[in-house]
Amino acid sequence: MKAALYEQFAGPMRICQVPDPTPPADGVVVRVAANGICRSDWHGWMGHDPDIRLPHVPGHELAGVVAAVGADVRRWRPGERVTVPFAGGCGRCPQCQAGQPHICDDYFQPGFTAWGSFAEYVALRYADTNLVRLPEELDFVAAASLGCRFITSFRAVVHQGRVAPGEWVAVHGCGGVGLAVVMIAVAAGAQVITVDVKDETLAFAETLGATHTLNARQVDDVPAAIHDLTGGAHLSLDALGSHATCANSIACLRKRGRHVQVGLLLAEDRDPPLPMHLVIARELEIRGSHGMPAHDYPAMLDLIRAGKLDPRKLVRKTVSLEESVAELTGMGEFQGVGVTVIDRF
């Protein structure tokens, strides 16, 4: 099969022929129809993820058709249209038994713990626990855009953030995650204020329903500006992952507010200094959000079918597998707006 492969971190990536995968006993092989290009893939290519072993094929935001099934799989058959959470649970560990397979003790992550979906085919473990059947109304490109950023944002806003109608939600960073947060929070009846460094991105956030936007390069004190506009956010999310966005997200909250960390804090941003004096004085709540389990997909898919959420709006560009190489390796420059999806293999 054809795949995008790199043999050294931050090194060249090339399109080449590699052996077709075979299904593990507890898994499937999926023919990839579409695959999102995510900043997490860039972090992996840069060497920021300890799970990756070289040589490596990236990719974890996938949608496609089951092509082959392992001997122990009971719920799936070839020909079924599927997607999958980027973090798959084993179904046996204490976390999985507690209904939390997205933080499994023995997790499987295509594109990280194994070769991923920048390829014509991808092998996935733990199929019975993690595969999600796609509704016919959802095309493969839209389904691929769910795979990491949208589902993580949905859980962050709805489950971890416990958003309520009328609340002020602040979003720091409007890449794919941040824009998904905007759409989901607006659909929940919240008022949204977005922060980014690009006017083009902020303008797009307004089309998704953002009430206010702030360009962080044009504001001396982002938390103070948010307090002036809103009285302080009830819920704030760092959707980028940096020292500045994490601290600003916490500092912009009103008393008893809730901060959710969604953006990955890696490399030089791994251990950010936090304004813990505010956490104590305002009795703030800090939570992380890491993906979403397969059993929580139906509520999100119902909102998509009802037209209350439209992840396809976030897809601003589709590319071929060959074109994906430049897209991925250039993600450190934060170019473009919205989500880019591979739809030609």
What does the pLDDT look like over 316-335, one tens digit per residue? 899 999 999 999 999 887 77
Instruction: Flag whether pLDDT at 233 surpasses 80.
Output: yes
pLDDT score at 272: 86
pLDDT score at 147: 81
| Pair 107, 210 in one domain | no
Domain assignment of residue 18, given as a range: 2-148+292-344
pLDDT score at 104: 97
Structure tokens at 192: 């949204």
pLDDT score at 270: 78
* Boundary-marking domain end, from 271, 288, 305: 288
For residue range 180-223, what is the model confidence (pLDDT) as tens digits?
Answer: 999 999 999 999 999 999 999 999 999 999 999 999 999 999 99
| Pair 141, 224 in one domain | no
Which sign, positive or negative, has the C-alpha torsion 57, 62, 67, 73? Answer: positive
| Pair 325, 274 in one domain | no
pLDDT score at 305: 93
| Pair 252, 277 in one domain | yes
pLDDT score at 334: 72
Q: What is the CATH number of the domain that holds 82?
A: 3.90.180.10
| Pair 132, 10 in one domain | yes
Instruction: Name the band, by pLDDT with cuts 50, 70 and 90, for residue 159.
Output: very high
| Pair 182, 242 in one domain | yes
pLDDT score at 268: 78
237, β-bridge pairs: 171, 260
Q: What is the mean pLDDT of the chain?
A: 95
Residue 197 CB: number of other CB atoms within 10 A? 15
Share of residues in the chain with pLDDT > 90 (%): 91
Instruction: Flag whether pLDDT at 12 surpasses 80.
Output: yes
| Pair 336, 300 in one domain | yes
Indicate the DSSP class of residue 311. Answer: G
* Boundary-marking domain end, from 268, 288, 308: 288
- Please tell me the total count of domains within the chain: 2
Map 185-227 to HEC letters: HHHCCCEEEEEECCHHHHHHHHHCCCCEEEEHHHCCCHHHHHH
pLDDT score at 198: 94
* DSSP reduced 3-state for 150: helix
pTM score, two decimals? 0.92
| Pair 18, 52 in one domain | yes
| Pair 186, 212 in one domain | yes
Q: What is the CATH number of the domain that holds 241?
A: 3.40.50.720
